[in-house]
Amino acid sequence: MPITKQAIKKMRRDEKAREKNNKKRALIKQTIKVYKRSPSTSLLQKIYSLIDKAVKTHLMHKNKGSRLKSRLSKHIS
Nearest one of 41, 43, 62, 42 to 51, comparing CA atoms = 62
Distance CA 6, CA 55 (A): 29
pLDDT in tens, 12-66: 999 999 999 999 999 999 999 999 999 999 999 999 999 999 999 999 999 999 9
CB 18 within 8 A of CB 37: no
Amino acid (1-letter code) at residue 47: I
pLDDT value for 14: 97
Nearest one of 43, 42, 40 to 31, comparing CA atoms = 43
Q: What's the pTM?
A: 0.85
CATH number of the domain to which 56 belongs: 1.20.58.110
State the residue range of the domain holding 40.
Answer: 5-73
Give, as one character, the DSSP assignment of residue 39.
-
Amino acid (1-letter code) at residue 31: T
pLDDT value for 34: 96
- The tally of domains found in the chain comes to 1
